[in-house]
Structure formats: C-alpha cells, structure tokens
Amino acid sequence: MFVVSITGCPCVTSVSLTTQVLEQATAHHLRQIYLRFLDMTDCYALEDEGLQTLTLHCTQLQHLYLRRCVRIGDAGVQAIGINCPYIKELSISDCRKVTDYGVCALSKIGDNLRYLSVAKCDKVSDVGVIQLAKNCRKLRYLNVRGCEAVSDDAMDVLARNCTKLKSLDIGKCDVTDEGLQVLSHNCSQLKKLSLKSCDAITDDGVKCIAKKCRHLEQLNIQDCHLTVDAYRAVKRYCKKCFIEHTNPGFY
C-alpha cells in the first residue's frame, strides 16, 4: 500500500497524487501544509470523509483536481465549498455520485471560482448550473459534458451572468438553438465551444454563434445534425477557428 507523508514540510504548495492506491490517511498527512495545488486524479479510494478532513486542513487550496474519484459525493464536494474559499480551478469530472446539491454548495465559493468541470456527472441538472451561474459570475471555463439534464434554461442564466466565459463544453446536453442564441448575445468572448452530440441544434444556432462569437478558436460539432451551411458560416466569421466534425461533406 502506497502512503505519502509530507508532515513537517510547510513550504510545500503543490502535490500530485494521481494514483489508484490512496489511503484515507493521506488527508491526515497533509494537515500541516499550505497547499495551493492538489491533483488526486484517479484516487478511487478517496471517500467523502477523507475529502472533508483534507479540506479542513488545506483551506488555502486554489487548484484541486478530483477526476474519476468515483467514491466522492455531495458531502465531500460540500466540504470544498465551505472550507476552501480560494478555489480557482476544480475538476470533479466523472464523479457520478455528485448531484445538484453538491454543485449548489460549490457556488458558495463565489467569484473566486474560474474553472469548473462536472463532465459526466449525470445527476447534475439545470438546478445546479443555474445556482452556480448566479453566484460565480467570473467563471471562465465550464464543462458540463454528458449532463443530459442541462438545458436551455441553464444556458439562459449562465449566459446572462457569466459574460466573460472563454470555454464551454455542453456536449450531449439538452441544448437547442434557443440556448445558443442567448449564449451568442452575451458571451461574445468565447474561444472554445463544444456542442458534440447536441442532437437538437441546427444550422441556425451555429450561425448565430459564428456571427456573434468571432473570437472562436475551437468548435466541436461532432455528431450534430448540421449542413455545410453551418460549417461555411463558421469559416466566414471565425477566421481562426478549428472545427472538429464528423461530416465527410465538410471536407
């Protein structure tokens, strides 16, 4: 069994524990240091109790990555929102136990939160995203890919509150042209947008994005029901945009 102890190392500010063998004891060993950066990707042994302890003793965290920590749920995420007010970047992608309750708790971080990924957290819906958008207005990056209960209602609140968004992934969400329209009118600084597998969008929605978001550098329209007209509109208005697609007619 692999255990890392950095007790007595108060100057350490960055730790990566991207391993699949993490004991609960790790949180205890981190208690005396002022961590700013912690990557615990794939630490599948970490549970809510360990995360709660960690956040209590690492309150200065700014960057926290918990990708595929599959035992983490709302209780652990709530502890982040309560104990780590300086968090700027957080990924809980593939933590499928997390629900809207956890995301609403994260919204307490407020304007410090700039980057959030809840990709494939399929229990997250409009409720969580709306609360997040209302409280975290300085978001620059949001990934809700695979959250199929996220719809135009969330896009409306997100676009009107988080106008400085640079990157948004709404792949496989229940977003239509209506959602894209409000995004285009309010988030003109978008540079990266993923619409992969958004079945309900049409050429009209993509054209609206192209006309209003001319700083777009990367657009994913894979597995979307679009024609070459949408492709041409992006090429016309977003000169530097790289388009990811699966339509052989676009080549």
- CA–CA separation, 31 vs 191, rounded Å? 39
Give the pLDDT confidence of 92-141 residue by residue, as tens digits.
999 999 999 999 999 999 999 999 999 999 999 999 999 999 999 999 99
**Residues 211, 233: contact at Cβ < 8 Å?**
yes
**Cβ contact 65:40 at 8 Å:** yes
Classified as helix, coil or strand, 68 is coil
pLDDT score, position 17:
52
- Looking at residues 65-84, what average pLDDT do you find? 98
pLDDT for the residue numbered 246: 86
Query: What is the reported pLDDT for 29?
Result: 54
**Which residues have CB under 8 Å from 218's CB, separation 6+?**
191, 192, 193, 241, 242, 244
d(CA 123, CA 144): 11
pLDDT at residue 148 greater than cutoff 80 = yes
Q: Could you read off the pLDDT of 191-216 as tens digits, one per residue?
A: 999 999 999 999 999 999 999 999 99
CA distances for 200 relative to 146, 160, 188, 195, 250, angstroms:
14, 22, 22, 10, 20
Whole-number pLDDT of residue 16? 55
Q: Which amino acid is at 100?
A: D
User: What local confidence, expressed as pLDDT, does residue 156 receive?
Assistant: 99
The model's pLDDT over 16-42, given as tens digits with 9 standing for 90+, comes to: 555 444 444 454 555 556 889 999 999
Length of the chain: 251
Confidence of residue 185 (pLDDT cuts 50, 70, 90): very high
Residue 182 has pLDDT above 60, yes or no: yes
pLDDT attached to residue 4:
45
Q: What confidence tens digit (pLDDT) does each residue in 55-72 have?
A: 999 999 999 999 999 999
Determine the Cα–Cα distance for residues 54 and 167; give it in Å rounded to an integer. Answer: 29
Mean pLDDT in the chain? Answer: 90
Q: What percent of the chain has pLDDT over 90?
A: 83
- Given a cut of 90, whether residue 11 has pLDDT beyond it is no
Per DSSP bridges, beta strands 115-117 and 14-16 are unpaired
Domains and CATH numbers, the chain: 1-14+31-171 (3.80.10.10), 176-250 (3.80.10.10)
Q: Is the pLDDT of residue 10 over 50?
A: no
